Chains A and B, each alone.
Chain A
């Protein structure tokens, strides 16, 4: 990559990073029993950008991701301190309905986990429990639109009644993405969505993330630094439960401020 293009990209990403604020985390501490997993982390997530969390295993990036839609509530002994807002609303406030929050902040998991039901039912499940479709026709439209957005429609349109678990790993993960976007969330959290996939399936998911960017605020956790560089505009580097550095992806990868970040992205450890 020439210096000129690099500067060009950097300028573009800088402009993008001035996006509208979607989620904002302030001084987040997470404890599992006595053990502190996250230490005073503050991050802003913007509507237009893909935000990537990188860092070595056990650094707390997945834990932090799960605080953004309160999935940590289901873990016994987990405790979250600090404040996280979604459009200015505190998501840990008692007035916040956690079920609705998870519809607004959708999630895609590390291992593809389609329900052992038909492809159609997988996508229709979310809209159905939230009452988003008033008729069968409307539900068909939602399912079709979601599968098209997830880039899976052409592959499965003739076998919507087949089991979702019969698809290949990459297709299953795209089905899970279709399931997440079927309820029309505002933010999509992706927890290492490609770690169980082969390179071709990974490329498809990355392409999909590009297409979904802008429509949804996307936060992605990844082990793979090249992936973070490819798909994200903003990158946060976590280490041992601390947020070491957070900035534009181009900055982090070309000109990190912290030594630890530099060591990690150049492969000294991780």
Chain B
């Protein structure tokens, strides 16, 4: 079309008037139009179906994961026990009944040859050939606890429930070898089997006997590590986000810092592990495999995530709120802490959840700083040797003994519950801070 600017206004108007009758009126009911509309609806339906399919697929995967974990892991929380009859008056127990009532009972029993007594009782009850092999190595501990509970047992014959050996335990759960299954069948005939909740799994730490191991050590290690990570990465991350967004001048340096932080968030976690090894262990001489070092390393990894989420949250606070606060004479710091930060908090917390959840599930960098050691006691503090849940899962999944399979699944369940609890707390906090407009 001709450019209308050169023409006098009157000529332009007459041209538009001349043009309008040339256009045929649109037929909104023509077959072409109908087809177009049908196509549009089909497109809409197709898109909705694809979306639904994607959601169903991911829900299916999640369900599969949960079902396989729970079905494989729940048995880890249950243990098989054997009812062991012990005739205390006729056993070679080297103990004075009077001492059992004193405060020294625990130590006296530990030196009283209880393992031999237990083993002898098992042989008497279940056969001289391997009768004691069906008991867990630490069965005598159950006998000791029973005696402390009721010293009167020493005067008579008693039946004490003691943990079964790992292969018997598995066989009782229908996962053991044929030979063990046979023994289980015999024991069932004698009504000598019992099952009960394995509270020990939540209170004990790593060990060599799968019936005796527990998750508490790793759980406590994870708690300590996460505490260090949160205490370090949250304040530093939030303050950097606020500084970069509210105070820093816009120039090449801040651009460079922004790019660096974005790249840092994408660095593979094993690199952070190497950094932790080089800096925290070699340069600073911090203790190896401690929760402190693990937390420091994971904090390095989590910080960029919090900075990025924090910057976006701060950026999303409407400028009119800043104007309003400045307008009544608030200083820049007051604007940030009275108005911007509270409004940005939900977004910052969302970023923190994501960062912390990633840190909680992280294994590789912790292996680099020595947190894969076998540690049979719960860590006593931030500098004590510790392990964390995902590393414990990794270690147990590597064990030869078949009893560790269900323990691995059980540990994963604990890890997931920990994760859900953490996210639940964060979502609660987020909703609490969320301000409805």
Contact = CB atoms under 8 A, between A and B. Distances in A.
B323 A109 contact: yes
B320 A113 contact: yes
Contacts of B343: 116
- Residue in A113, A126, A179 with the greatest tally of chain B CB atoms within 10 Å: A113
A18 B9 CA distance: 49
B107 to A, nearest CB: 63
B327 A102 contact: yes
B324 A115 contact: yes
Given A129-B334, A163-B436, A114 B324 contact: yes
Interface string A95-116: 0000111110011110101111
Interface in B308-331: 318, 320-331
A25 interface: no
A100 B328 CA distance: 9
B324 A102 contact: no
Contact of B324 (A74, A76, A163, A176): A176
B59 interface: no
Nearest to A76: B250
B329 A100 contact: yes
**Range of interface residues on chain B?**
20 to 34
A130 B334 CA distance: 11
A115 B329 contact: no
B338 A113 contact: no
A101 B326 CA distance: 11
Contacts of A209: none
Contact of B323 (A113, A129, A165): A113
A165 B437 contact: yes
B435 interface: yes
B331 A115 contact: no
B144 interface: no
Given A111-B320, A113-B321, A102 B437 contact: no
Contacts of A243: none
B429 to A, nearest CB: 18
A195 to B, nearest CB: 14
A136 B429 CA distance: 30
A103 B330 CA distance: 8
Contacts of B321: 113, 115-116
Contacts of A74: 322-323, 326
Nearest to B342: A116
Contacts of A126: 328-329
B103 to A, nearest CB: 59
Interface in A164-185: 165, 176, 179-180, 182-183
B430 interface: no
Contact of A183 (B322, B328, B331, B334): B328
A99 B327 CA distance: 9
Contacts of A129: 328-330, 334, 338
Nearest to A103: B329
Nearest to A122: B324
Nearest to B331: A99
- Residue in A106, A107, A130 with the greatest tally of chain B CB atoms within 10 Å: A107
A173 to B, nearest CB: 12
A71 interface: yes
Nearest to A111: B320
B173 interface: no
Nearest to B320: A113
Contacts of B323: 71, 74, 107, 109, 113
Contacts of B320: 109, 111, 113
Interface string B232-275: 00000000000000000110000000000000000000000000
Nearest to B323: A109
A31 interface: no
A125 B436 contact: no
B339 interface: yes
Nearest to A123: B328
B435 to A, nearest CB: 4
A176 B324 CA distance: 8
A71 B326 contact: yes
B329 A113 contact: no
Given A74-B322, A116-B343, A116-B437, A106 B330 contact: no
B249 to A, nearest CB: 8
Interface in A125-149: 125-126, 129-130
A179 B330 CA distance: 13
A108 B326 CA distance: 11
B327 A125 contact: no
B319 to A, nearest CB: 9
Interface in B384-433: none
- Residue in A108, A125, A163, A165 with the greatest tally of chain B CB atoms within 10 Å: A125
Interface of B: 249-250, 318, 320-331, 334, 338-339, 343, 435-437
Which 5 pairs across A and B sit closest by C-beta, in order of nearness?
A103-B329, A126-B328, A113-B320, A107-B327, A102-B329
Given A71-B327, A109-B323, A115-B325, 5 more contacts: A101-B329, A108-B327, A109-B327, A126-B329, A129-B330
13 contacts: A69-B327, A71-B327, A99-B331, A102-B328, A108-B327, A115-B339, A116-B435, A116-B436, A125-B325, A130-B329, A163-B436, A180-B327, A182-B328
